[in-house]
Amino acid sequence: MALELLSVSKSKDSKHRHSKDKFVDFHVPTGLNLLEDTEYASQAAMWGIEGLPELGEIYPIGGAGDRLGLVDSDTGDSLPAALLPYCGRSLLEGLMRDLQAREFLHFKIFGKQCITPVAVMTSSVKNNHEHIVAICERLEWFGRGRENFRLFEQPLVPVVNAEDGKWLISESLLPVGKPGGHGAIWKLACDRGVFEWLYCHGRKGATVRQVSNVVAATDLTLMALAGIGLRHNKKLGFASCERRPGATEGVNVLIEKQNFDGLWEYGITCIEYTEFEKYGISEPTATNDSLQASYPANTNILYVDLQAAQEVGSRKNASCLPGIVLNLKKAVSYVDHLGFECSAAGGRLECTMQNIADNFMNTYSYRCSKGIESELDTFIVYNERKKVTSSAKRKLKSEDRSLHQTPEGSLLDIMRNAHDLLSSCSIEVPEVKDNNEYLHSGLPFIIFLHPALGPFWDIIKQKFIGGSISKGSELQIEVAEFLWQDVELDGSLIILADNIMGSTKRNTDGEQILHYGARCGRCKLQNVKIVNEGISWDSPINVYWKHHVERSESLKIILHGNAEFEAKDILLKGNHMFEVPDGHRMCIIQDEAGLLVHVPYFLVQKRLCASTSSRFPP
């Protein structure tokens, strides 16, 4: 099969059409636009939050992530993409923060604890499986319990030389192996009992996202997708956006087919970028009006009905591995049988999880008119690109002229989202310019907001009202119960809470389990002006996408247990750290002599000068 696909991929006039079909055509699919129909978008997202007890979460994170060049600083060993230290934590930890923020919102609305079962497809490449297990164990399974995770390992497939079709041979005299694409996930989930495990947890559908896409859970996108899928009993849904020309990403299309029996089939599916030539889809140029520019991007953010996916995964034919392609687009690095480090144009058979959609076509005895999408088992929702997809897939090189798919580029999209969100709260925030402005320079600001502040923007807007953030400032909020009202920030403000969404207790198995809403930390800032030197932007050690920065000064607030901090009508100038112990509230107000710190629960008052560190022991 590899040689056959290799031959087809090299053919210059291969405008393939399905031989079993009399007619095939592609159209731009229509679906809910979350930016335009905001009322329905909010309703769909609420369906998603309400339906959280019926949803599982699926992460295909077995990829090698070779383009990131991630290595262990101590051992020099290559590391998988899930371990990338992004914004202060691994990418895997970022996925769990997003998920727990949705569960926290479910608790706040419905008063019920909901722990989503998480299925993770790993692989053996770069000891991926062992690393994922190690992270989960070190973080005590994220306060969710081991029973709410199911890890299953993806097999590797051999790599063929793109030039001569011969297998690449490794140092161990075995074929070089790489993960064979995330399309294996459905068959593996079936073979390893993952679907049955999800059913035992009462789940009907699941959301699917990749570890490298750091904005997939922004605002409403993911929950609106899941809400529509659950509410309307759909089999598969795509979250999509405009496509960036030249990007290594596929497109979503509405496919229309007529078979030789005269029946018509319709469905929303994906065409991978490696298959564009095969289907006659060309990249747009200045002189060509390519259809590709009209098709939306495939982002691999999916909603899937579990029974529908299990039915496909249990089949005994090739359809259980959807979207098989020979990917020749990537260089392969390996150690050959003589022990030399090599790089070759290599290809491997890959299958794609999103092409399970090809199995969910709807059949009609007549040709349908426009608007058929609402009747189909497959569907699509749209949002603006920076709220749907921005990936950290490759390491930025000194000669690069683009930040696309780099950690640096995706961080800029996070900053753009922060700008848009806070600007809508009547907060003055510097503009984020085009990526080219930041190829070799710092950022206009750094803003990291914990997703549990929302995660929906309409909820976050209730917690941020008025004020300003000056150019070069840093804002990090790691607390969910928070109020910002008329705050002016010129420098660094860092708020850290032990109990962001709740507190943990040991269960009967000795595991620490997070209980939402229990003893959360709280912080309230009203009419506060914060001025300090903040980040040393010219420091050579700064790595902004890791959130590794050197600071000259900052205002840091640390909340232990259910501690509370309040500041009102005050100027906080210079370097400060306020650390509040469990069970205490620290209130700061301005008086004529300086700052008055008041701890009502402990009935302690201390007068401070303007540049001290405050800590009250329990």
Cβ-based neighbour number of residue 492 at 10 Å: 24
pLDDT at 610: 34
pLDDT at 184: 92
Lowest average pLDDT, out of 194-203, 244-253, 348-357, 454-463, goes to 244-253
Q: What are the domain boundaries of the chain?
A: 2-387, 407-615
Residues 329-342: tens digit of each pLDDT: 677 777 877 888 88
Q: Number of helices and strands (H, E) in the chain?
A: 10, 36
**Assigned token pair, 593:** 């002599």
**Assigned token pair, 550:** 């050197």
Q: In what order do the strands lie in the sheet with 613-615?
A: 446-449, 474-478, 492-497, 555-559, 576-580, 613-615
CA angle 177, 275, 119 (to 5 degrees): 50
Mean pLDDT of 76-84: 89
Element (H, E) at 566: strand 564-573
pLDDT at 604: 41
Lowest average pLDDT, out of 148-152, 331-335, 355-359, goes to 331-335
pLDDT at 293: 54
**Assigned token pair, 67:** 């383009």
Question: Which of the four pLDDT bands, split at 50, 70 and 90, describes residue 599?
Answer: low
Q: Would you report the helix, strand and coil content of the chain in percent, each value rounded to 5?
A: 25, 35, 40
φ, ψ at 8 (rounded to 5°): -65, -40
Question: Which of the four pLDDT bands, split at 50, 70 and 90, describes residue 580?
Answer: very high
Strands 362-364 and 427-428: unpaired
Question: Which of the four pLDDT bands, split at 50, 70 and 90, describes residue 426?
Answer: very high
Lowest average pLDDT, out of 61-70, 101-110, 303-312, 361-370, goes to 61-70
pLDDT at 609: 34
pLDDT at 12 over 60: no
Place of tokens 């496909």: 312
Residues 159-206: tens digit of each pLDDT: 888 877 788 888 777 888 888 889 899 999 999 999 999 999 999 999
The class level of CATH for 2-387 reads: alpha beta
Lowest average pLDDT, out of 10-19, 95-104, 125-134, goes to 10-19
pLDDT at 174: 81
My answer on whether omega of the bond before 455 falls inside 30° of 0, hence cis, is yes
* CA 413 to chain CA centroid, nearest Å: 12
The mean pLDDT value of the chain amounts to 89
pLDDT at 5 over 90: no
pLDDT at 381 over 90: yes
CA distance 77 to 75: 5
